[in-house]
């Protein structure tokens, strides 16, 4: 199987690419900037330069000769890019398109409608596919590090609602397992972490790990939006506030068995993730 990985300079795509490399595969990666991709992977991957926004014929050339495509599109216009990529995949004869999607494609919360439209376009293209509908990433908690270091506090509009963040390594393990699987097609796989926790519980666990108490302070949706707009564009900031509101209202506490079903082992815990990332919060990493 010849794999083409998109988003290989980002969070999940890079984990998928390195897992395939460690498994003895020689994946292709599609990147807008070939030099950036080369810095990540040296000569260990075949780099195809291209833009997921198209045009379709150029993307189809970039996909040529590959059989399985791992697709990551981001932002409010991701459905248009998913549609373009699906057409290019069909032209290039891709046999399995695996899209990194979100659990919220089902719930309609936050970025969910963007991904739901992308999924519909892929289904309509007729390209055999799998949608990995993931919960929010544990690595989102890295965005808490500044206020933990500066104020000794986390400010959040999620109240005491819970969410089962998933370890990025589990998402990548599932993606590789799905990509390398020969038979199952045209399905969605819902994956979450093993336990729904509140932001207060998660930040308390980080505080325990670094040996310093961290305050948890609830803020309003308006305050959360103002904070998000300091680093995100408005559509994404509004999607985040929608997600945080849903957490607060108990609408995102789903725990699925998807990781265990796909991998035959339980998902990694938030405690595992803290151990690996404690340095980001001012603690000393116990393992990488
Ligand atoms: N964070 C969460 O909690 C969460 C939860 C559920 C689902 N998701 C979904 O996960 C996805 C994000 O995954 P991630 O965090 O791994 O992504 P990421 O780290 O933001 O990386 C995005 C990647 O896409 C590439 N890219 C962006 N636009 C491109 C274009 N036009 N053509 C080619 N490549 C392009 C970037 O390459 P460059 O190096 O060129 O920028 C980068 O490699 C989104 O679809 C998001 O909705 C996230």
**Model confidence at 184, in pLDDT bands (50, 70, 90)?**
confident
CB 91 within 8 A of CB 60: yes
Longest CA pairwise span in the chain (Å):
56
Ligand 1 site residues, Cβ closer than 6 angstroms: 6-13, 31-33, 36, 51-53, 72-74, 78, 100, 102, 111, 134, 136-137, 140
Hey, what domains does the chain have and what are their CATH numbers? 3-134 (3.40.50.720)
Residue 191 has pLDDT above 60, yes or no: yes
* Residue 197: how many other CB atoms lie within 10 Å: 18
Residue 38: other Cβ atoms inside 10 A:
15
Q: How far is the CA of 101 from the centre of ligand 1 (A)?
A: 11
In DSSP terms, 166 is beta-bridged to 137
- Whether the pLDDT of residue 109 is over 90: the answer is yes
What atom in ligand 1 is closest to the CA of residue 134? 6
What are the tokens at 61? 């050339």
Alpha carbon nearest to ligand 1 atom 24, residue: 7
User: What pLDDT digit, counting tens, does each position of 111-139 carry?
Assistant: 999 999 999 999 999 999 999 999 999 99
Mutate to test the pocket of ligand 1, among 4, 7, 40, 103 (most ligand atoms within 8 A of CB): 7
Q: Chain-wide mean pLDDT for the chain?
A: 96
CA of 14 to the centre of ligand 1 (A): 10
10 C-alpha to ligand 1 centroid (Å): 6
| DSSP string covering 195-229 | S-EEHHHHHHHHHHHHTS--EEEE--HHHHHHHHT
pLDDT tens profile 16-35: 999 999 999 999 999 999 99
With vertex at residue 73, the alpha carbon angle to CA 254 and CA 92, rounded to the nearest 5 degrees, is 120
% of the chain at pLDDT higher than 70: 98
Segment 241-265 shows an average pLDDT of: 98
What spacing in Å lies between the alpha carbon of 26 and ligand 1's midpoint?
22
- Could you give the strand order of the β-sheet that contains 3-6, starting from the edge strand earlier in sequence? 46-49, 28-31, 3-6, 68-71, 96-102, 129-134, 187-191
CB-count burial class (<10 Å; 0-12, 13-18, 19+) for 2: middle
Could you give the CA distance from residue 144 to residue 100 in angstroms, rounded to a whole number?
24
pLDDT at 286 over 50: no
pLDDT at 31: 98
Using the mean position of ligand 1's atoms as its centre, give its distance from the Cα of residue 74 in Å.
5
Q: How far is the CA of 214 from the centre of ligand 1 (A)?
A: 30
Q: What b/e sequence results for 153-176 when a residue is b if at least 16 CB atoms lie within 10 Å of its CB, and e otherwise?
A: ebbbbbbebbbbbbbbbbbbbbbb
Testing ligand 1's pocket by substitution, the residue of 36, 38, 63, 74 carrying the most ligand atoms inside 8 A of its CB is 74
- Closest Cα to atom 48, ligand 1: which residue? 136
pLDDT value for 68: 98
Nearest-atom index, ligand 1, CA of 33: 40
CB atoms within 10 A of CB 109: 21
Nearest CA to ligand 1 atom 12: 74
Q: Is the dihedral of CA 118, 119, 123, 127 positive or negative?
A: positive
């Amino acid at each position: 199987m010849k794999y083409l990985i998109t988003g290989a300079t980002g969070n999940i795509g890079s984990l998928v690419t390195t897992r395939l490399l460690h498994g003895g595969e020689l994946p292709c990666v599609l990147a807008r900037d070939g030099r950036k991709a080369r810095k990540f992977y040296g000569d260990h991957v075949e780099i195809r330069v291209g833009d997921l926004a198209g045009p379709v014929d150029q993307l189809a050339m970039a996909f040529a000769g590959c059989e399985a495509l791992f697709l990551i599109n981001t932002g409010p216009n991701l459905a248009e890019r998913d549609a373009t990529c699906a057409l290019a995949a069909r032209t290039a004869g891709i046999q399995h398109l695996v899209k990194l999607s979100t659990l919220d494609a089902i719930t309609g919360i936050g970025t969910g409608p963007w991904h739901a439209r992308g999924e519909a376009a892929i289904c309509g293209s007729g390209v055999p596919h799998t949608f990995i509908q993931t919960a929010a990433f544990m690595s989102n908690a890295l965005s808490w590090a500044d206020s933990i270091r500066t104020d000794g506090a986390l400010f959040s509009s999620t109240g005491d609602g819970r969410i089962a963040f998933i370890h990025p390594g589990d998402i990548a393990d599932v993606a590789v397992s799905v990509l390398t699987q020969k038979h199952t097609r045209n399905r969605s796989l819902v994956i979450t972490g093993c336990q729904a926790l509140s932001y207060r519980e998660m930040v308390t666990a980080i505080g325990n790990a670094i040996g310093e108490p961290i305050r948890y302070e609830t803020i309003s949706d308006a305050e959360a939006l103002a904070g998000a707009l300091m680093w995100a564009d408005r559509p994404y900031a509004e999607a985040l506030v929608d997600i945080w509101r849903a957490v607060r209202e108990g609408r995102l506490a789903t725990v699925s068995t998807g990781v265990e079903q796909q991998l035959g082992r339980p998902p990694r815990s938030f405690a595992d993730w803290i151990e690996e990332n404690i340095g980001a919060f001012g603690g000393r990493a116990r393992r990488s």
